[in-house]
Amino acid sequence: MEERDETKKRTRITLIILSIVFSLILAINIIAGSNQKEQVLLAGLPTIIDFGSDCYTCTQQKGYLDTIKEKYTDNININKIDIYDNPKEADKYDVKVGNNIIYWDGYDDKKQPLNDGIYTYKIFAVDYANKSSNEVIGTINIDKTSPTFANISVTPNPFVPNGNNILNISYISSEKSNITVDIKDNEGNIVSTVEDNILKYAGSYLLSYNCKDSKGDLLTDGEYTVEFIATDLVGLRSVQYAKVVIDRFKPIITNISSAPEPFLPSGENYLTISFDLSEVINTGSIKIFDINNKLISGYNFNSADKVTWGWNGKDTLAKLVPVGTYTYKINSTDLSGKVADQFTGTITVIDAVVKSLGISPSPFNPKSNTANISYYLSSNANTTVQILNSNYELVNSVKEFELEQKGANNVIWDGKNESGNLVNDGLYICKVEVTSEDGYLSKVYQEFWVEYNNPSISNENVEYLLNYPDGISNFCKVKFDLSEDSNVTIKVFNNSNNIIKTMLLDLKCNAGNIEVDWDGTNDNGQMVLDGTYNYEISGYDKFGKSSQTVLI
């Protein structure tokens, strides 16, 4: 009996020891995690490592550990290590567990970037017991190229929508992408969306569009933009465009004008014809016909919704047309072939009421003679003759709205202004303005010169400019007044009357105050010696009359 009890006792001890050893081995090799808490391990006692993991195997052994902890308290150390929070500590026991991240840069083993495409990756694991996990297979899509559209087509174009027919929009997409197709007006506003961010595979697609806006109304006539937007799975984006013309109605010509009316052509002036069109048209023309319906001149236009054309009064042979009434006709055809209603207008061409204006003599010397102003009237007219200065300011009214007969006429000017004083030398303009008995206004201008004095130089002086702060004169400024436009020469002489510097040489100067700087150098660019120098000013006008020579 005692021997049987002893045997049972030995068996129980053996089982406990085996359980401890089994738990110790299991705890060292399992993969798990739990929070590690601060513990005090008793020296000299065996230690079991509890990794506290929630893995399946670990939870199966949890009952054994709990029994050991309860039964052998104070006789064994339990060391808890959380392999997730303290992986380095767990690594001492060759225990590794948790999520793993591997980064790949898209290059091959030769460090070359791979082409766009789909690549396969495989993942498997082998533990310390040389046992393999199951194999996980996945794919990686390398995409460095933006999606593209090809073979974009919008038909028919132009399109005449009626609410029952459709506009066909087709394209080929290069790769799997989110596709948006918008319709925009000529100001860039979206009027309708045909596709809104629809995920589509690479391939050909055909869309049907009824040409209605977001409110359900048919689009108005005009040119529209079809915008294609593709965004692939990695966010690369591309945009392409196509044009379509919506044309439901024929074009309308409005706001027609032609001016001046009547038209007095000179070959250098223009009669302007302008008008608006209700839509962008394909072709159009303006044609001018004479009383016999013969084509005199014309102008072709296209791709416009506003037209302006100037006619110089010449025919197809580049000759000025005779006086008379002419007809102009405007025609236009839109992009779908619809023709606008023709517009017809008239142009009245008149002859110059006054022409052949002349002034003699020119130049005119009012001290010795008078100026004869002659001109020709094509009809009886009220005439005004004025003398203007070079700025077109009134100097004198020689004749004021006097009725004169058709034919040659003239008037005399004595060279005086409205105050009765002789005018200065210079350029003047004679203006003759007439109004015919039937109300046509005509103007002509003619330039002429008044010349009776030599140019004069006056109020000459020298201003010395100091180089502060040392007070030494660095250069001087020669100042004088010039009575009329002239060519001026300024020379500087030394005490031996030799020319050392030519400040101006035959330079054209306007009448008024003249200022010229001298920096103290000679014609070779060298500084002259200290001393006194003289300068000479001379000039001559347009007609060769010389000024007095001024020596200072």
The amino acid at 113: P
Question: What one-letter code names the amino acid at 506?
Answer: D
Pairing of the two strands 47-50 and 77-80: parallel
Class level of CATH domain 457-551? mainly beta
User: Hey, where are the domains in the chain?
Assistant: 12-91, 116-248, 256-330+340-349, 354-450, 457-551
Q: Three-class SS of residue 430?
A: strand
What CATH architecture does domain 256-330+340-349 belong to?
Sandwich (2.60)
Name every residue whose Cβ is closer than 8 Å to that of residue 463 and which is 6 or more positions away in sequence.
476, 477, 479
Which residue type sits at 56?
Answer: Y
Q: Going by CATH, does the domain composed of 116-248 fall within 1.10.260.40?
A: no
Residue 7: per-residue pLDDT = 46
Q: How would DSSP label each residue in 286-347?
A: EEEE-TT--EEEEEEE-S-SEEEEEE-SB-TTS-BPPSEEEEEEEEEEETTS-BPPPEEEEE
**Residues in the chain, overall count:** 552
Per-residue CA distances from 403 to 216, 219, 272, 437 (Å): 70, 63, 32, 9
pTM of the model: 0.44
SS3 176: coil
Q: What is the pLDDT of residue 94?
A: 54
| Predicted local distance difference test score (pLDDT) of residue 15 | 43
Cis peptide preceding 265, ω within 30 of 0: no
Whole-number Å distance between alpha carbons of 467 and 135: 94
Residue in 531, 517, 539 with CA at minimum distance from that of residue 463: 517
Element (H, E) at 112: none
Half-sphere exposure of 72 (CA within 13 A, CB side): 19
Residue 134 CB coordination number (10 Å): 7
- Alpha helices, DSSP H, located in 100-139: none
Phi/psi of residue 215, each to 5°? -95, -5
> Which pLDDT belongs to residue 17?
46
Separation of alpha carbons 97 and 26, rounded Å:
15
Neighbouring residues of 15: CB distance < 8 A, sequence distance ≥ 6: none
How many angstroms separate the first and last alpha carbons of the chain? 160
Q: Which residues, listed in sequence order, are joined to residue 434 by a DSSP beta bridge? A: 383, 442
CATH 2.60.40.4070 correct for 354-450: yes
Q: Is the dihedral of CA 198, 203, 206, 209 positive or negative?
A: positive
* Contact by Cβ (8 Å): 154, 241: no
pLDDT of residue 512: 85
Average pLDDT across each block of 10 residues of the chain; the chain has 552 residues. List them in order.
Answer: 49 45 46 42 55 54 67 66 62 58 82 87 79 86 90 93 94 95 94 96 95 92 93 92 91 93 86 91 93 95 85 93 94 89 94 87 89 92 94 94 93 95 91 86 90 83 62 72 87 90 88 88 90 86 69 56
